[in-house]
Amino acid sequence: MLNIYFTNYYNNNGTSLLKRCVLLCVLFIGFSAFSQTTPKVITKVDTTSIKIGEQIQFTVTVEADTTAQVIFPEGQTFSPLETVEAFATDTTRKNDRMTLQKIYALTQFDSGSYKIPAQRIEINGEGFLTDSTRIVNVANIAVDTLAQRMYDIKPLMEVEKNNSRLWKIILFVLLGLLVIGGLVYWFFFRKKQLSEEEKVALLPPYDRALLELKNLEKSKYLIQDEYKEYYSELTGIVRSYLEEDVNVSALESTTDELITKLELLRDAGELKIDDETLQQFKRILQTADLVKFAKSKPDTSVAENDRQSIEQIVHKTHDALPEPTVEELMEQEEYKEELEKKQQKKKIIYASVAVLGALFIALGVSTTYYGFTYVKDTILGHPSKELLEGDWVSSSYGYPPISLETPRVLKRQETKLTPEMKANIKDLQMFMYRSEKGFFSVGTTSTTLTQEVEPEFNKSIEAFIKNLEKQGAKNIITKQEEFTTVTGVKGIKVFGSGDFPVPGSEELVDGKYSILLFGAKGLQQQIIINWLEDDTYAQEIADRILGSVEVKTEL
């Protein structure tokens, strides 16, 4: 029943339903087309005539959908006019449309007529260019030469070279020397804190023997029944004393041999000691031999008495020694002084060897990492290396401007146009830097022609080669290729090598050169770089300069 109803309805009203569907589609398509209206870009300036240094306001208005993504140009994009300030974007919305307004404050400090270049507005990834036919007239400020005196243009002011890098190098060298000096002092000249054993070892033999006997008295050998260790230390103390103070070989002698040597010294008058003391000493040594080799164990009181007896023997032996003569004392002082000199000399040698070793290690590591040539040039200095690693300058030269990065500021070169040149050249601006110590030089030339004709690059290249040959250059090799800047401006690159004369000399050196040529109607721009062929640092400088070139080819 339900199926029959829908079938009848469709048959009776089919035509009306179809019309309704078509009408809805048309409305939908119309609405979509209206919502995707093409964006509009409108520009205007508040004035087209200003004085030098005054500002104009360049307004860009964009009308687009509220969903559109709009990107305005930033930076110095109005050359030859200079952008003073880019104000914040003002946005207004109405229904599904929005209006964006961007204001730029522009100025110029040279009189003349200037065309505002077209600006690219990016909307949803598509570029829209503004009108570039607006001309801005910049007028000179009237000067009353009668009431105001005219003065010559002041010459360039020489600025002292920045020595910050030199001071950094000196600071690092001083810090390195300070560290090395501290290490040498710490390991060779510092008075070290002596341990108790070292302090005891520095005592005179007599005082050291008495101190060691006192320490033996405080020991626990007898309490722990360690008689062998007790007597070994007791006889070792007295034998060491006799060997040092009496000058008799006691440590390696047996008991009988030692007593015999002491008796011989007594008989020779070199040791004033009585026979009873010698016999008492012999008895103690024999008791010590029995304890060490026959495992004998005397009473504790006997061991204590033997230590006291040895102490008395040390006293008597010391008193029995004859007083040293003046000659002997002087010999001892000279010996001490000589010994101190030798020790001081040894310390100086050790310190010198340590410093030289540290320097050689540093040189070896630096040579392995950086290479011999780089280390040599760092230590001895190299003019091109100093330029490469110094503070570089980014600047614009001439008009239209040639922007590039150089190790030093290029200075304006005074040029006088001959009558023949004035027929074709309206203005010529040259800037150059030449290294005083090396062959490296870089220069720019901006030439404004009297007629708006395309520049003849081939003639410029021929004139350049002829000028080199006129100056004495030989064996000039020339290559040519297309060159494109970072921003896409295309030009010609001429490069090669040859034997070039050194300024102020008849000597010829192997050198390289590179020339960039750009231009448009009525305009030609050149960038020229020269350097020694085997100067790797100058090659890096040239590559860096060429990679930074930016030019404007519109008057």
- Tens of pLDDT, residue by residue over 190-240, are 666 667 776 777 788 888 888 889 999 888 888 888 999 999 999 999 899
Whether pLDDT at 412 is above 70? yes
Q: Tell me how far apart the alpha carbons of residues 482 and 379 are, in angstroms, rounded to a whole number.
A: 40
Q: Tell me how far apart the alpha carbons of residues 259 and 469 are, in angstroms, rounded to a whole number.
A: 106
User: Rounded to two decimals, what is the model's pTM?
Assistant: 0.43
Mean per-residue pLDDT over the chain, rounded: 80
Task: Find out whether the peptide bond into 80 is cis, omega within 30 degrees of 0.
Answer: yes
- Tens of pLDDT, residue by residue over 118-152, are 888 999 888 888 886 678 888 877 666 566 666 66
CB 478 within 8 A of CB 496: yes
- Residue among 523, 505, 528, 518 at smallest CA distance from 550: 518
- Residue among 276, 246, 274, 270 at smallest CA distance from 258: 246
Is 251 in a helix, a strand, or coil?
coil
- In angstroms, the Cα distances linking 408 to 386, 400, 513, 544 are 11, 21, 18, 13
Q: Which residues lie closer than 8 Å to 111 by C-beta, 6 or more apart?
A: 52, 138, 139, 140
Q: Which amino acid is at 236?
A: G
DSSP 357: H
Q: Mean per-residue pLDDT for 59-74? A: 90
- Tens of pLDDT, residue by residue over 67-107, are 888 999 888 888 888 899 999 999 998 888 899 999 999 99
Q: Where are the alpha helices (DSSP H) in 156-195?
A: 164-184
Whether pLDDT at 23 is above 50? no
- Phi first, then psi: give them for residue 82, nearest 5 degrees: -105, 130
Strand pairing partners for 176?
none
| CA contacts within 13 A on the Cβ side of 433 | 17
CA angle at 293 for the pair 287 and 295, rounded to the nearest 5°: 80
The predicted pLDDT at position 153 comes to: 67
CB 34 within 8 A of CB 96: no
| Beta strands 90-94 and 135-139, pairing class | unpaired
CB 497 within 8 A of CB 481: no
For residue 286, the tally of other CB atoms under 10 A from its CB is: 13
Q: Tell me how far apart the alpha carbons of residues 292 and 61 are, in angstroms, rounded to a whole number.
A: 114
Whether pLDDT at 243 is above 70? yes
Whether pLDDT at 442 is above 60? yes
Q: How far is CA 263 from the centre of its chain?
A: 78
